[in-house]
Amino acid sequence: MKNKDKTAHVCVITNNKGGVGKSTTAEALADGLVIRSFKTLLIDLDPQGSLSTNFVQSHATTYEVMTKQANIMDAVQHRKDRADILTSSKSLARLTAELVDTGKEYRLREVLAPALPCYDYIIVDTPPALSVLTVNALTAASSLIIPAQADIYSLQGIGQLMESVDAIRTYTNPVLKLMGILLTRHNARSILSRDMADLAQLTAEKIETFLYKTVIRESVTVKEAQANRQSLYEYAPKSNPALDYMDFVTEFAERSVRVDA
């Protein structure tokens, strides 16, 4: 476990392209860290609320926290054997218009402060676009992970994302670390997927990061677990994606310790 004097490692899961397993990765990482005995908070900062559909909506959400109508620790929902969660709200879509004050990029960093001593990791899921929400997430983060499919459009989007990351490092968060590219929804039997995996390695080298050794294999069990309102590890612990994500969690935890050292 983490030293009591340290604060949470905040990791953002982001990609400008949708459909790459971004929310699934955020949830699997957060729940996997709990299995590894790390106290973890999952924040749904996506107005689509993919991670929030099965939770009590009477609670304050990320919208109320971001607009300072609620304290983050009062809004967090606690779960047995899973990561705590701060749920999303469709109202988040209004924040682009509502956050107009100077320093609006720092709002999430500001409201996260009470939670930092309480967790080892805080995992943030973002919208599939560079919005004020994504900028807030990257400004508050220790690191980011880019989930990507092994296809040309997904990999091209990484270059566009990195332009935004470079701007964040210049203006709002110079210590932001890129913690690698994770290949998701992978079909190892496909020749095209294997070729694209090689291209993903070249892409990682170009932006001076790494490609995780673990590759997340495609499986219907991911959607089945979500439909049954269970974590992937509870629903199908021996499925390919569950095993893959736990290997990824191990890789991530080892690398994050080195980043925080």
Residue 261 lies in a domain: no
Residue 4 lies in a domain: no
Give the strand pairing for 211-217 and 40-44. unpaired
Which amino acid belongs to residue 240? Answer: N
pLDDT of residue 67: 93
Which pair of tokens denotes residue 164? 């935004």
Contacts of residue 15, defined as CB under 8 A and 6 or more positions apart, other chains included, come to 22, 128, 146, 147, 148, 154, 157, 158, 161
Range of the domain at 20: 9-256
Residue 48 lies in a domain: yes
pLDDT: is 220 or 3 the higher one?
A: 220
> What tens digit of pLDDT does each residue of 49-93 get?
889 887 766 689 999 999 999 999 999 999 999 999 999 988 898
pLDDT of residue 50: 85
pLDDT of residue 244: 96
Produce one character per residue of 168-204: b if its CB has 16 or more CB atoms within 10 Å, e if not. beeebbeebbbbbbbbbbbeeeeeebeebbeebeebb
Which amino acid belongs to residue 137? Answer: A
pLDDT at 164 over 80: yes
Q: Look at the chain and report how many structural domains it folds into.
A: 1
pLDDT: is 130 or 37 the higher one?
A: 37
Confidence of residue 2 (pLDDT cuts 50, 70, 90): very low
pLDDT at 259 over 70: no
pLDDT at 99 over 90: no
| pTM, entire model | 0.92
pLDDT of residue 261: 57
pLDDT of residue 260: 62
pLDDT at 18 over 80: no
Residue 16 lies in a domain: yes
Residue among 212, 153, 218 at smallest CA distance from 188:
218
Residue 71 lies in a domain: yes
pLDDT at 95 over 70: yes
pLDDT at 47 over 80: yes
pLDDT of residue 158: 86
Residue 54 lies in a domain: yes
DSSP 166-182: HHHHHHT-TT-EEEEEE
Average pLDDT value for residue range 198-209:
85
Which residue in this structure is represented by tokens 């991670």? 51
Count CB neighbours of 57 within 10 A: 10
Average pLDDT value for residue range 204-213:
89
Residue 2 lies in a domain: no
Report the percent of the chain where pLDDT is more than 90.
57
Gap between the Cα atoms of 214 and 19, Å rounded: 19
Domain of 227, CATH number, reads 3.40.50.300
Mean pLDDT of the chain, nearest integer: 88
Average pLDDT value for residue range 109-118:
96
> What tens digit of pLDDT does each residue of 174-186 get?
999 999 999 997 7
